[in-house]
Structure 1
Amino acid sequence: MNPLYNELEDSLGYRFGDRALLGRAMTRFAAAKEEGQGDDHSMDALATLGDAVIDVVVLEHLIAGGMESKGELSLTKMNMVNMTVLRRLAESISLDQYVTWGKGESGQEIWRSGRVLAECMEAVCGAAYLDGGTEAVRKILIHLAFFL
């Protein structure tokens, strides 16, 4: 396990009970394939899960704050949760430094692409959800000042 994960957990404001989930969230599909690992060793499924969980946590936050209109909820969530916002969150904690990149990705510095770091942030949230439920994801988002 990456010795820098303690530092990453400090940046996230969340300690994983199952560090293997964090390791998976930080492993790109290309890197897993290069290491002879299957899909279950890469972040892809966790990113999909994280995308959905972030939406749920944000909607819970908005409803708890008194927002009830379906249109207003949808628009506000759409403005709060997008690739630009998620990428900025990832950049704020230098998430790219913790990711295991494939050789080609590393050479091309693929994390400079708009979507890639956002997907990494989604994967972290997906892993946190599996580790500690929506409360874990909420804790991370609050720690990263997502709701300000």
Structure 2
Amino acid sequence: MKLSAEIKAFEKRLGHKFKRPELLARALTHSSISTPTRPDNQRLEFLGDRVLGLVMAEALFLGDRAASEGQMAPRFNALVRKEACADIARKIDLGAVLKLGRSEMMTGGRRKLALLGDAMEAVIAAVYLDGGFEAAKELILRLWEDRLDSVEEDARDPKTALQEWAQARGLPPPRYEITHRDGPDHAPNFTIEVSLENGARETAKAGSKRQGEMTAAKTLLKRLEDDAEG
């Protein structure tokens, strides 16, 4: 099978030369454009999720031999969650080569978190089937290197941490409010404000309410902690 120039460029960004290029083509095919002769990437996504999980579990297990299961679990979740996969997909511009149906293309499918995360898992499976576990492991550890280095910070749920900060000081739980929304329905932007009863507040903008709340909580908590240290 001959790959297009765009997919060949992606293959180079990915850092894996496929012996069976049809695997990569399938990994990039969304269900909105699949046919009986052109299968989508859903089965590969299922496999890739498990390969990613094993590689991350092993990396955490070997990387910190003193860590308990309770410490490793949130780190693991931070590394394999859909947002992390989508961020890696953006890093290698996977969205540019996704094969999508017209409806998905018209609604911004190349930027959707779920589509990017699923496709990244499918690409991992394609590398695994093409080159074996060691090839997939090398790819994952290379692409996830920065996240592994900062996983302790990423594993900390900022909303939970901010609530614990408030409770420790006798304050009610933080309040989250959408203060502004713009953009088209298929790609909205939310401005989220988090506030505490003591008057502390912070805002953040994001493409989803959940991400906006997480970012606002993280920013406010850091400011509160910095103020306490200063």
TM-score (norm 1): 0.87
CA displacement 1:56-89 (0-9 Å, x = unmatched)? 0111111222435322222211111111111110
Q: Which residue of 2 aligns with 1:28?
A: 30
Q: Report which of the two has the higher share of strand.
A: 2
The Cα of 1:93 is off from its aligned counterpart by 1.1
Mapping of residues 1-16 of structure 1, within 5 Å: 1-16=3-18
Greater RCO structure (CA 8 Å; 6+ sep): 1
Q: Distance in 1 between matches of 2:4 and 2:68?
A: 44
CA displacement 1:77-130 (0-9 Å, x = unmatched)? 111111111111000111011111111111111232221111110110011111
Counterpart residue identity of residue 72, structure 2: L
Q: Which residue of 2 aligns with 1:91?
A: 90
Q: Which residue of 2 aligns with 1:37?
A: 37
Q: Which residue of 2 aligns with 1:115?
A: 114
Q: Which residue of 2 aligns with 1:57?
A: 55
Q: Distance in 2 between matches of 1:47 and 1:93?
A: 17
Partner SS state of residue 42, structure 1: coil
Contact 1:16 1:128 in 2 (8 A): yes
Contiguous gaps of at least 5 residues in structure 2? 150-230
Percent identity of equivalent pairs: 28
Counterpart residue identity of residue 20, structure 1: E
Q: Distance in 1 between matches of 2:23 and 2:115?
A: 19
Q: Which residue of 1 aligns with 2:166?
A: none
Contact 1:57 1:134 in 2 (8 A): no
Q: CA RMSD in A?
A: 1.7
Q: Distance in 2 between matches of 1:64 and 1:17?
A: 31
1:128 aligns with 2:127: yes
The Cα of 1:145 is off from its aligned counterpart by 4.2
Q: Distance in 2 between matches of 1:37 and 1:108?
A: 25
Runs of at least 4 residues of structure 1 off by over 6 A? none
Q: Distance in 2 between matches of 1:145 and 1:114?
A: 17
TM-score (norm 2): 0.58
Give the number of aligned pairs: 144
Q: Which residue of 2 aligns with 1:101?
A: 100
Contiguous gaps of at least 5 residues in structure 1? none
Q: Which residue of 2 aligns with 1:76?
A: 75
Partner SS state of residue 98, structure 2: coil
Partner SS state of residue 143, structure 1: helix
